Structure 1
Amino acid sequence: MKVAVVLADGCEEVEALTPIDVFRRMNIQADMVGLTHQDVMGAHQIALHCDKVVDDSLLEYDCVIFPGGMGGAHALRDNDQLMELMQKRQANGQWNAAMCAAPIAFARYGLLDGHDYTCFPGIDQETKKVAPTGHFKEDITVVDPKGHIITSRGPATAMAYAFCIADTLGLDTKEIKHQMLYDFLKKNI
């Protein structure tokens, strides 16, 4: 089992690092993959160093994960190499995940067509223009098994997103949710 988080300059750092943190705590390979270079500057000026740069090896991951952040999401959206790889992944029935503003990339790639998804409030207006047959939902996380797509809303939902991805991939998250106090948070917020 292995996952990749694809990072571009302007990414939302909490959305990028939360899945990496959760999967690495579970002893699952979680690679930080730079869109065009290994050193990425987040939206809040947090410097991130990636393990590698986007290449055909994205086809080998159990899930490829996109964080939001408008600058990063637009860079992911506009990259034709990444679009081709993500379209191949969906055609192969592999899981892909995007949160916050990043579903705009999935919309351009055609991955949302006919599928359920969520995103940051207001971004749905942009995704509807590009992917009018997609079905926007206001849930914290949305899993569309037919399209092999997992989506989420924004920075505060990053942990729910990471656990949703892990659960969808068939991992047992009960212990890690307890260790990270996620079960306590869900009960008390």
Structure 2
Amino acid sequence: MPKALILIADGSEEIEFVTPYDVLTRAGFEVKSVGVQLKNEGWAHMTRNVRIVPDAPTLLSLPFQTAHEAYDVLVIPGGGPGAATFSNNDAVLELISNFQQAGKWVAAICAGTTALVAAEKKLGGKKVVVTSHPSVKEQIEKEGWGYSEERVVVNTGVITSRGPGTALLFSLTIVEEIMGKEKRDEVAGPMIVAPTL
């Protein structure tokens, strides 16, 4: 059974957190969410005022230095304030770097892509072609990353996507890349997913 680790912070985007959690669970992943610098102990205050309780309250509550050994994919939701928290958190940047160095998948959506850029800038690594919410495109290109306007981009172990409206396609792409197209179709069917996302 593959395992997914999903980050969550105050100001993370609800749809971009819940959709991957839901879809990956349906696909048979063991999914765990972990809070990053939450102001209120035990729950995250999301961008649209929804409150979500993560499975683990902080990165320190799991051995994040070795998380890349236990999980197959690290998922980073967007939401401007949440993405800024991830991008400025040394433990998150180390987590991203460790996943990439281990050849594990890193998936980021919307402004979450800026955390990949921050990790590469601080710790080194590879710059690949990515996508993101249009509001952070210039910031990403300024750091020398290739950029695509596609709804989802898969490139050398990195999956990126554009925003809340692409969260379902993003999530199904993670399933397909890790478990294959047959599993993606098996998950999408009962969800009545439209042929074109």
Taking structure 1 as the reference length, the TM-score comes to 0.91
1:179 corresponds to which residue? 190
Runs of at least 5 residues in structure 1 that lack an aligned partner in the other structure: none
Question: Is 1:165 aligned with 2:174?
Answer: yes
**Are the aligned partners of 1:118 and 1:138 in contact in 2 as well (CA < 8 Å)?**
yes
2-structure distance, mates of 1:113, 1:85: 15
Question: Is 1:7 aligned with 2:11?
Answer: no
How far does residue 33 in structure 1 lie from its aligned partner after superposition? 1.1
**Are the aligned partners of 2:97 and 2:125 in contact in 1 as well (CA < 8 Å)?**
no
Q: Which residue of the other structure, out of 151, 174, 184, is the alignment partner of 1:140?
A: 151
2:116 corresponds to which residue? 106
1-structure distance, mates of 2:125, 2:175: 21
How far does residue 142 in structure 1 lie from its aligned partner after superposition? 0.4
- Is 148-157 or 113-122 further displaced after alignment? 113-122
Choose between structure 1 and 2: higher helix proportion.
Answer: 2
Give the counterpart letter for 1:18 in structure 2.
Answer: T
**Are the aligned partners of 1:58 and 1:64 in contact in 2 as well (CA < 8 Å)?**
no
Structure 1 segments, 4+ long, off by >4 Å, are none
Query: Secondary structure at 2:179's aligned position in 1?
Result: coil
**Are the aligned partners of 2:27 and 2:175 in contact in 1 as well (CA < 8 Å)?**
no
Runs of at least 5 residues in structure 2 that lack an aligned partner in the other structure: none
Query: Secondary structure at 1:173's aligned position in 2?
Result: helix
How far does residue 81 in structure 1 lie from its aligned partner after superposition? 1.0
- Is 114-123 or 39-48 further displaced after alignment? 114-123
2:45 corresponds to which residue? 41
Give the counterpart letter for 2:23 in structure 1.
Answer: V
Question: Is 1:70 aligned with 2:83?
Answer: no
2-structure distance, mates of 1:174, 1:67: 23
- Is 69-78 or 107-116 further displaced after alignment? 107-116
2-structure distance, mates of 1:90, 1:13: 25
How far does residue 65 in structure 1 lie from its aligned partner after superposition? 0.2
- Is 159-168 or 104-113 further displaced after alignment? 104-113
Count of equivalent residues: 182
Query: Cα deviation per residue 1:23-82 (whole Å; 9 max; x = unaligned)?
Result: 112232111111134411100110000001224253221000011000000000000111
- Is 169-178 or 66-75 further displaced after alignment? 169-178
Taking structure 2 as the reference length, the TM-score comes to 0.87
